[in-house]
Structure 1
Amino acid sequence: MKFSQFFNIWLHENYYKNVSKIGKNGDFFTAVSVGNLFGTLLAKHFLKLIDEGALKLPLEIVEIGANEGYLSRDFLSALVEFRPEIFSQISFFIIEPHEKLQILQKKTLKGIDFIHKNNLEECYFKNGFFFCNELFDSFTCELIDNDTMAYVKDYQIVFKPIDESLQQRCQELGLKKGELSLELENFLKQLDKVSEKFIFAGFDYGTFDNDRFSIRIYQKHEVFDPFEISLKDFFGKSDITYNVNFNHLKTTIENLNFKLLHLKKQSQALIDFGFEELLEYTKNKNIKSYENLLSQSKILFFNFDEKFHFFEFAKL
């Protein structure tokens, strides 16, 4: 089978479906695992978009790929802290296909009025603010090596001649070796179809490289090369991921006539969101909370790979 099919069965029909653990006791960390600072700063950014007129109320807020719902919880808690009156003018959605994760999200967000949707096809948004964390690197991908593409047979990766249509897409993108996600293109096309206008804010590992593989496996915070191990030993039980091709993302955004607003490193984005203002606000209110945010910031700013980026685009 094509590598993309194998990737989908591994990640979406097994690993995520059976509720993967994230954080200290899981296979990998995300920015959300660190604490509430990440979600709080995203909320400050959201409010700034409203204050500057980039977003206009009333609107729909949508998280995609929420896992257990902690980012939504931190985001909404910050809105309660900074702008509680806004809740009369927003409706909140989580798009989640996996039933077990829906149950965990309802538990995490107990007492919060929100709507679950299984996929974008069920939705229609007039005026949305979408956010996600490490979503695009979970989209199925093909592995491209010049004129060949990856297949999986007996849990081994083998390369065969590339499909003609796929080869043409790679030539358009200047991609010689690496990952190519057609699911990313399909997702953005569907987003366009179900939304009148929106701003989409996301975080993901990604690069502009077009000549190397980044596909990797995480198991209990160790990294494994899928070309050097037995895939059967990890299949469906460990995380598999890759770096998002930002050249591909930018090209797809342009082709859909969306407007790219930001593409910058996560650390710079968090500063721009109002990190220093938040620290000053918290210091004047509660010194223990201030110290906690400082501790979180050291991890967010210094313990995450420089390939971790913030991107934001809009349909106006």
Structure 2
Amino acid sequence: MQNLDKPFSGYMTEWLYGEDGYYATYKNIGKSGDFYTAVSTSKFFGGSIAKHIISLVDEGFLAQDGVVCEIGAHHGYFLADVIEFIYTLRPELLNTLTFVIIEKFDDLQAHQRKYFEESFGNAVSLTHYKSLSELECENAFFIANEIFDAFPCELYFKGHTARVEGHEVHFDVDNDWVKFKADKYFKDRGEIALGYEEFASEMAQSAKKFEFMSFDYGEMQARPDFSIRVYAKHEVIPFFDDKIKRNELFAKSDITYDVTFEHVKDAYEDAGIKFVELKTQMVALIDMGMLDLLEMLKENVEEKVYKQELEKAKMLIMPNFLGERFKMIKFRKESK
């Protein structure tokens, strides 16, 4: 497949979401895949979110009959882990909460339904929507893991935007919107994400009252250089590496970049949604009670099982693995 003379965002969209794109069909994540995520590392990632959801119900922010919605679920493991821990901690909520996944690809929806049927039988009902614009509810908790780094982006370098011709990148396009965003976030080179504004607006319209929590890698301020890279079989390949063979990696590997959380924050605030906080994944998971869950496990299983789960959970919060590099960003919309 040749990709001739198109904006970089179009090239990245085709790479990830085209008919034969990387995310268009089911992919393994973890040891047998191209990369690890917090979800593939330990069930206590989902467990911490479950504990937080219960706290939202207890404080009255999330109604007992509210919606718990994961966006971009891939396997469905994350939401399933959340449900498993809700069953352990507050089982009656499984009879009142509505569980939703936003997933545009039919193939992935089918895998998610199959996994839920294998995991829960008829005990849990799962609802799918292809986009947030299809969901209308009163009250919700939205969760996403590594979603903002998967939005298409434009590449910018000293006043010019990139186009791709035959997998080669040329910085020779003038794009006023991209330049405006680059100037706003003090970037003379790097990635300018597309779609954050529309995504925030869709979420604002989908629920009258909600909390949204997302985990991703990046910083509040834009980094001063390109971060775009390819993940293939756990190898990190800089996109501008002279040795990279983009035509061979195209649509067969993941392509991603660091998130500028200030851009996410601005998009949500422009949509009328309140920014609550940004913190490291390590601090976020500990604050939500992950260590309390591990103590509960210790009291109820053999020491060998506990130590195995503890080692996996440590990877979520260790600074040299996922704990510091990944951030949690949180927003809230109050009903009028």
Say yes or no: TM over 0.5. yes
TM-superposed CA distance for 1:162, in Å, is: 2.7
Q: Pick the aligned partner of 1:138 from 150, 154, 160.
A: 150
170-179 vs 152-161, which moves further: 170-179
Rounded Cα–Cα distance in structure 1 between residues aligned with 2:11 and 2:115: 31
121-130 vs 295-304, which moves further: 295-304
Q: Which residue of 2 aligns with 1:231?
A: 246
Matched, 1:12 2:17: yes
Rounded Cα–Cα distance in structure 2 between residues aligned with 1:306 and 1:275: 16
Rounded Cα–Cα distance in structure 1 between residues aligned with 2:31 and 2:301: 27
Rounded Cα–Cα distance in structure 1 between residues aligned with 2:288 and 2:310: 16
Q: Which residue of 1 aligns with 2:112?
A: 105
Q: Which residue of 1 aligns with 2:278?
A: 263
Q: Pick the aligned partner of 2:98 from 91, 106, 119.
A: 91
Matched, 1:2 2:7: yes
Identical amino acids, percent of aligned pairs:
37
Q: Which residue of 1 aligns with 2:182?
A: 170
CA shift digits 1:265-289 (9 cap, x unpaired): 1011111111221122111121344
* Contact preservation (8 Å) 1:206, 1:246: yes
Matched, 1:287 2:302: yes
TM-superposed CA distance for 1:305, in Å, is: 6.4
* Contact preservation (8 Å) 2:185, 2:222: no
261-270 vs 171-180, which moves further: 171-180
One-letter amino acid of the structure 2 residue matched with residue 107 of structure 1: K
Q: Would the alpha carbon gap of residues 307 and 230 (structure 1) be closer, same or farther in structure 2, given more than 3 Å must change?
A: same
1:15 aligned counterpart, secondary structure: coil
TM-superposed CA distance for 1:178, in Å, is: 1.6
CA shift digits 1:193-222 (9 cap, x unpaired): 222121111111112234211100000000
* Contact preservation (8 Å) 2:50, 2:82: yes
RMSD: 1.5
Q: Pick the aligned partner of 1:202 from 214, 226, 232.
A: 214
* Contact preservation (8 Å) 1:142, 1:181: yes
Rounded Cα–Cα distance in structure 1 between residues aligned with 2:44 and 2:223: 33
One-letter amino acid of the structure 2 residue matched with residue 165 of structure 1: W
2:30 aligned counterpart, secondary structure: coil
* Contact preservation (8 Å) 1:177, 1:210: no
Matched, 1:296 2:303: no
CA shift digits 1:90-115 (9 cap, x unpaired): 11111111111111101111122111
Q: Pick the aligned partner of 1:219 from 232, 235, 255.
A: 232
Q: Which residue of 2 aligns with 1:306?
A: 324
Rounded Cα–Cα distance in structure 2 between residues aligned with 1:121 and 1:308: 28
Q: Which residue of 2 aligns with 1:22?
A: 29
CA shift digits 1:29-52 (9 cap, x unpaired): 001111211111111111122222
110-119 vs 171-180, which moves further: 171-180
One-letter amino acid of the structure 2 residue matched with residue 4 of structure 1: S
TM-superposed CA distance for 1:192, in Å, is: 1.3
Rounded Cα–Cα distance in structure 1 between residues aligned with 2:209 and 2:158: 38
Rounded Cα–Cα distance in structure 1 between residues aligned with 2:282 and 2:110: 32
273-282 vs 196-205, which moves further: 273-282
Q: Would you identify which runs of 4 or more consecutive aligned residues in structure 1 move more than 6 Å?
A: none
Q: Which residue of 2 aligns with 1:160?
A: 172
TM-superposed CA distance for 1:129, in Å, is: 0.5
232-241 vs 209-218, which moves further: 209-218
Unaligned runs of 5+ residues in structure 2 are 1-5
One-letter amino acid of the structure 1 residue matched with residue 301 of structure 2: N
Matched, 1:125 2:140: no
Q: Which residue of 2 aligns with 1:185?
A: 197
TM-superposed CA distance for 1:176, in Å, is: 2.5
* Contact preservation (8 Å) 1:96, 1:118: yes
CA shift digits 1:156-197 (9 cap, x unpaired): 111113312322233233333221112112111111122212
1:57 aligned counterpart, secondary structure: coil
TM-superposed CA distance for 1:85, in Å, is: 0.7
Rounded Cα–Cα distance in structure 1 between residues aligned with 2:179 and 2:131: 29
Matched, 1:276 2:291: yes
* Contact preservation (8 Å) 1:170, 1:176: yes
Q: Which residue of 1 aligns with 2:3?
A: none
CA shift digits 1:213-258 (9 cap, x unpaired): 1100000000111112121010000000011111111222222221
303-312 vs 36-45, which moves further: 303-312
One-letter amino acid of the structure 2 residue matched with residue 52 of structure 1: E
Rounded Cα–Cα distance in structure 2 between residues aligned with 1:11 and 1:168: 26
